[in-house]
Amino acid sequence: MSKENNSAMLRLKQDYLHLKMDPVPYVLAEPVPANFLEWHYVVKGPESTPYEGGYYHGKIIFPEEFPFKPPSIYMSTPNGRFCINARLCLSISDYHPETWNPAWNVSTILTGLLSFMIEKTPTLGSINTTDNEKKRLAMQSLEYNLKDKTFCELFPETVEAIKIELERRKGKRPDESR
């Protein structure tokens, strides 16, 4: 293991403990057990946004030089804001190493991602859709994520919450779903 990789691992483990003690609102994150440089996250759509009711899965790939170099950030779930499975151009991502601050941690990255998601500023990797399209994708996101093996392995509690919500939706009469 290189010195940078060891430094990145120590920092990421520290960030993980911090995140567990002080979670970011609306966001969960877990590292891949076999590769601590790859983390997956789930954003639960905040109330009073077009994303409300949705769950949005993505990943963050940290370089071996972290925290001195920024990560790559991807969104996996269709959401109406970001392209899926493409690197996102955010001030907290590897698209902008000149704006990266080594003091930023995983919580900072997740908070920034959520902030970028609910605003409308265009960026490379973003798409422009209507609020109605975002709401439609939010409703579809639950079943979409259940098809993702990594999502199901890393977020079993969220999987259970999604299954309960899907059952609740099935139990509603059509006139109650509005």
CATH code of residue 38 = 3.10.110.10
Say what the pLDDT of residue 175 is: 52
Q: Which residue has the tokens 């493409």?
A: 86
The answer to the question of residue 36 being in a domain is yes
Distance CA 66, CA 108 (A): 14
Residues involved in catalysis? 89
pLDDT digits (tens, 9 = 90+) for 71-125: 999 999 999 999 999 999 998 999 999 999 999 999 999 999 999 999 988 888 8
The answer to the question of residue 89 being in a domain is yes
Average pLDDT value for residue range 127-134 = 96
The answer to the question of residue 175 being in a domain is no
Distance CA 7, CA 14 (A): 11
Give the number of other Cβ atoms within 10 Å of residue 87's Cβ: 17
The answer to the question of residue 178 being in a domain is no
The answer to the question of residue 105 being in a domain is yes
The answer to the question of residue 137 being in a domain is yes
Full strand arrangement of the beta sheet holding 27-32: 27-32, 35-44, 55-61, 72-75
Structural domain boundaries enclosing 95: 7-167
Distance CA 154, CA 158 (A): 9
The total domain count for the chain is: 1
Rounded to the nearest 5°, which phi and psi values hold at 46? -65, 150
The answer to the question of residue 47 being in a domain is yes
The answer to the question of residue 82 being in a domain is yes
Residues 6+ away with beta carbon under 8 Å from 86 = 74, 75, 125
Say what the pLDDT of residue 2 is: 52
**The two three-digit tokens of residue 8, written as one number:** 């990145």
